[in-house]
Structure 1
Amino acid sequence: MTSTILITGASSGIGRETALHYARNGWTVYAVARSADKLAELSAEVPQRIVPVSLDLTDSAALTSWFAKLPAELRFDVVLLNAGNCEYVEATNLDISAFERTFELNVLAVVRAVKEALPRLSAGSTLAIVSSMAHFFPFTRAEAYGASKAAISYFADSLRVDLHDTGIKVCLIEPGFIDTPLTQKNDFAMPFLMPVAQAAERIYSGIAAGKPRLRFPRRLSLMLKLLSALPYGLRIKLANRMKQQ
């Protein structure tokens, strides 16, 4: 029997590459994104394995309606909630709309998707949520993005506790810098930048192994852990110094 996965944010970056990786390994992939054109291109890569789903995750009514129309017997072996965005802000003139957009997609849309997806998961299934290492350290102009990722990481960890007795596994994925269209917009150095195909393989193998948390690249994770262990005052000085570089 073919295994089935739902992946959000599947039109580009990590979501697209991971959808292709699963499809090429024989899975049926429900690929969710807003762009119907990009989803059509994606599904053409692995015909008959990828089901394109054009859907705006911030539209709660549309999200509920789509799940309600699925066959009653359909269950997902994995639900991978990957859709997200990054907007940088200026502290001296905080853009509230940027915070609203960021939290709407990176946090609230994820929570809504979890609510709709849970009835489609069974004991042994995996709910995987993509966050980021960005919340490990106070990076410049990352107030909106980092805060949203801190929120969703906590949400995933707490959710794992409350779903323990159901047998549904929760996997928190916290990548560092991955070479995607999103990071290609950055105008600063990105240490240990990982190719997106390698990130997809890490996600595929990590979920298959039943790991509760995935962090990669490992070298960046170790570096940020060391920075987090510094005395608070020293962390502040270091963050300010990094901002000026």
Structure 2
Amino acid sequence: MSSTCLITGASSGIGAATAKYFASQGWTVYAVARSVEKLQQLAITPGIIALPLDLTDTHAIITTAKELANKNIALDLVLLNAGSCEYVTAKNLDLSAFERTFAINFHANVAAIKYLLPLLSLSKKPQLAVVSSMAHFFPFTRSEAYGASKAALSYFVDSLRVDLAKTEIQICLIEPGFVDTPLTQKNDFKMPFLLSVDTAAKRIYHGLDNNKLRIRFPIRLSVMLKLMACLPYGLRCRLAAKMADK
């Protein structure tokens, strides 16, 4: 019996590459994204089924979950990857940017978990994986909205794991560094240890296959940021400010 997964944010970047990689390993993949056209192109790949859905629309999530349940579709993995990034200016904070960023990076993921979690109940090895980011490890310039949303998401997943510890569901928190996607291609700064989406997809797949509770890549960036976070607070703040001036 083949395994079945649902991957959000599948129209491009990490989501699209991961959907293709899972399909290449024999999985049936329900690829979720807002773009119908991009999903149709992705669904040309054998094993991938397009599932257009706007994750910021809670009613649409409820409807989709009911449709999958009515078709007796049991998911072995729900991989929540959809996300966005908007940079802000501290002297004139754009509140709408915060609303949009939290809507997709945090609230949409919480809603998706609430309504998709029951679809994992029939699996013998259910897994829930959520893609956050290393961005919240260190205070980067103009990242008040993005970093805060990812910090909230990572904390939520860790707390959720505590409360679901007595269930069969394996929960994995994925915190990547810089990956070459349409989102990061908009950045106008140097991105150390930049990885391709294909490399990211393989690391996610094999990390989940090995039942890891947390997947971070690249390791070099993770170690560097964690060491920087261990600096005395004042020095850490001065370093962050100096980096922002470059």
TM-score, normalization: structure 2? 0.97
Partner Cα distance (1:111, 1:17) in 2 = 23
Q: In the alignment, which of 38, 58, 61 is matched to residue 60 of structure 1?
A: 58
Partner of 2:214: 213
Paired residues of 2:69 and 2:119 also in contact (CA < 8 A): no
* Amino acid in structure 2 at the alignment position of 1:74: I
Partner of 1:94: 93
Alignment map for 1:26-105 (pairs within 5 Å): 26-44=26-44, 46-47=45-46, 49-72=47-70, 73-105=72-104
Corresponding pairs, count: 243
SS at match of 1:29: strand
Partner Cα distance (1:55, 1:96) in 2 = 25
1:108 deviation in Å? 0.3
Alignment map for 1:138-217 (pairs within 5 Å): 138-217=139-218
* Amino acid in structure 1 at the alignment position of 2:68: L
SS at match of 1:179: coil
Identity %: 63
Partner Cα distance (2:137, 2:226) in 1 = 8
Partner Cα distance (1:69, 1:38) in 2 = 22
Long gaps (5+) in structure 2: none
1:124 deviation in Å? 2.4
1:161-206 Cα distance to aligned partner (Å, 9 max, x none)? 1111111010000000001110000000000001110000000000
Partner of 1:25: 25
* Two-structure CA RMSD over aligned residues (Å): 0.8
Partner Cα distance (1:174, 1:32) in 2 = 20
* Amino acid in structure 1 at the alignment position of 2:50: P
* Amino acid in structure 2 at the alignment position of 1:21: Y
Long gaps (5+) in structure 1: none
Partner of 1:106: 105
Partner Cα distance (1:198, 1:66) in 2 = 30
After TM superposition, the runs of 4+ consecutive aligned structure 1 residues lying more than 4 A away are: none
TM-score, normalization: structure 1? 0.98
SS at match of 1:51: strand
Paired residues of 2:16 and 2:42 also in contact (CA < 8 A): yes
Partner Cα distance (2:67, 2:223) in 1 = 44
Partner of 2:134: 133
State which drifts further: 113-122 or 90-99: 113-122
Partner Cα distance (1:19, 1:152) in 2 = 22
Partner Cα distance (1:14, 1:225) in 2 = 23
Partner Cα distance (1:41, 1:119) in 2 = 29
Partner Cα distance (2:49, 2:113) in 1 = 20
Partner Cα distance (2:163, 2:207) in 1 = 22
